[in-house]
Structure 1
Amino acid sequence: MAADCFAEKASVTALVDFTGRADYLSVAGDVIRRVPEAVDETQALALLCEATDRLGADASAFVSFIRDDVSHESYRFLLACDPTWCLEYERRCWYANDPWLAYALRHSEPARASEIPITSRQQRDAVELAMQYGFQSAAIIPAPSSGGLSRLGVLCLGSATAGFYEGDGFTIFKLAARPLAMELHEWWIARIRAELVATTRVTAEDVLLLRLERQGRSTKHIAAELDMSTSAVDSRFQRLNVKLGVPNRRSAAALAAEYGLI
């Protein structure tokens, strides 16, 4: 029954027609609870597509990024929409002019896109581009990190029907959309953490060393705790810096914390 629950989607024009169904939350939850089990981006995207449909949306995009990353190298996308939108978005380098990302940086509460202020022509252009690719009406679902991580996530759910998210049903909708955003965010963090470990070959001993550095311990204190010489501690940090591609031990510990290793 769940697989064809929204088979009549084409004839539904109001959000409340979805959220008013008795099994709305459970049907969406059946997909959301499988997100942590995704073994790669292909499976995660398939689940996002399925969840998007069950939530009543026509398109969606999930973005994971590190706060204050001016290089945009940390940005990761899952696109259950026309990829042309993302290609054009990246071509124009609209990260800094995206009001939806800006909202997610400062807020944790889901919002209708219509509630987010547009303060520049560039921001208006970014929104108008999204509207061309299935986001005539949109809901923005931030996914903040816990534990001091600055990596954030934001789920954008769109409808080709103008005003779709403006009417009744948005409160129920948020109850389903928020868990989806958070599960996708945690999935990305776990995947990026695994990638870092695989590519750098960081060991358990390295992690302990980085944890002590993050706690502000001096070389002398670390050496005493690990029963090593101070020169051995310095040598291990030098090797770690090379592994992680950072200039010093403080940066190494910060990077490890950012990726949830410590």
Structure 2
Amino acid sequence: MEIEHFLPQDAYVALGKIARCQSEADVASLTKQVVLVLGATSYVYSTLTSDDRSNDRESYRYFIGCDPQWCRIYNERKWFMNDPFVEYSRYNTEPIIADQIVLQTSGQIEMLSVAATYGFKSGMVIPTHSSQSANERIGLLYIGVDAPADVGNQLMHLHRISYRALGMELLDWWIRFLRAEAARKFNLSEEEINMLQQVKNGAAVTELSAKLGITSSKLYRLLNVIQDKFNVDKIGAAVAIAKFNGLLG
């Protein structure tokens, strides 16, 4: 994908291109250009399921637009286990200047100190949540400016609405991407995904069969087919796997 050069006033036009991107590399490249146009120097965007606190970080996905050395150090020191920005983003939606988040541990203090040497002398945290999955998949856009706080913080505050729009576009892109990826992986039709969603939402068999206009016995057969595709013997287990893989809102 060829990324066009654009003027600052064209930032919203550029944001609109993200939804049409076909690959992670295209989205990351376009995001980097938007960030630079809005005056920042670095960014990291991560999205995860809100309850993923594991050491493996199975649900995490990333776009990285900063010195890769920063990310290497972050991972080696396992700062993701107690990242104050992630914790803030789990429970808040308002963008916040990074140094306004209260740090609780020496590790968190060290994390920000090291970040400052890799393009994040000033930083802003922009949480993103989707109405589709407000309590399930969240996003975090971390914007960095390689300038002292009195300059960088003012700049990021000025563009906070644009950064917020960028964060939501990235979250929406990941939700669509992960959903399509999971549907292919498990060979699911839209009808089967809809049934899983209805079961997750608490629909009883009689209610679901009525909605679909089929008998309960046919519904059970269809649910058994879905269970086979997930290699489980209970529809609840299939729902859990589908949820983890981003299929359900």
TM-score interval, smaller chain: 0.7 to 0.9
Whether the aligned pair in 1 keeps the contact of 2:183 and 2:247 (CA below 8 Å) is no
Aligned to 2:40: 57
In structure 2, the CA distance between the partners of 1:192 and 1:140, relative to structure 1 (3 Å rule), is same
Secondary structure of the residue that 1:154 maps to in structure 2?
A: strand
In structure 2, the CA distance between the partners of 1:122 and 1:241, relative to structure 1 (3 Å rule), is farther
* Equivalent-residue separation in structure 2 for 1:245 and 1:103 (angstroms): 37
1:1-262 to structure 2, matched below 5 A, reads 3=5, 5=7, 24=8, 26-71=9-54, 72-149=57-134, 150-163=136-149, 164-167=151-154, 169-223=155-209, 226-228=213-215, 230=217, 233-244=219-230, 248-253=234-239, 256=242, 259=246, 261=248
Note the alpha carbon deviations across 1:32-60, whole angstroms, 9 max, x for none.
12111111011101101101110101111
Note the alpha carbon deviations across 1:119-175, whole angstroms, 9 max, x for none.
1112112222322211111011111121344101111110111213333x5443112
**Once the 2 structures are TM-superposed, how far is the Cα of residue 242 of structure 1 from its aligned partner?**
4.4
Whether the aligned pair in 2 keeps the contact of 1:110 and 1:142 (CA below 8 Å) is yes
Q: Which amino acid aligns with 1:3?
A: H
**Once the 2 structures are TM-superposed, how far is the Cα of residue 206 of structure 1 from its aligned partner?**
1.2
Q: Which amino acid aligns with 1:42?
A: A
With structure 2 as the length reference, what TM-score do the two structures score?
0.85
In structure 2, the CA distance between the partners of 1:220 and 1:154, relative to structure 1 (3 Å rule), is same
Whether the aligned pair in 2 keeps the contact of 1:27 and 1:54 (CA below 8 Å) is no
In structure 2, the CA distance between the partners of 1:246 and 1:153, relative to structure 1 (3 Å rule), is farther
Whether the aligned pair in 2 keeps the contact of 1:98 and 1:127 (CA below 8 Å) is no
Whether the aligned pair in 2 keeps the contact of 1:139 and 1:165 (CA below 8 Å) is no
The farther-off stretch of 239-248 and 201-210 is: 239-248
Q: Which amino acid aligns with 2:18?
A: V
In structure 2, the CA distance between the partners of 1:251 and 1:125, relative to structure 1 (3 Å rule), is farther
* Equivalent-residue separation in structure 1 for 2:81 and 2:15 (angstroms): 30
With structure 1 as the length reference, what TM-score do the two structures score?
0.81
In structure 2, the CA distance between the partners of 1:97 and 1:197, relative to structure 1 (3 Å rule), is same
Please tell me the root mean square deviation across aligned C-alpha atoms, in Å: 2.5
Structure 1 residue ranges without an equivalent (≥5): 6-23
The farther-off stretch of 53-62 and 87-96 is: 87-96
Structure 2 residue ranges without an equivalent (≥5): none
The higher radius of gyration belongs to: 1
Q: Which amino acid aligns with 1:33?
A: G
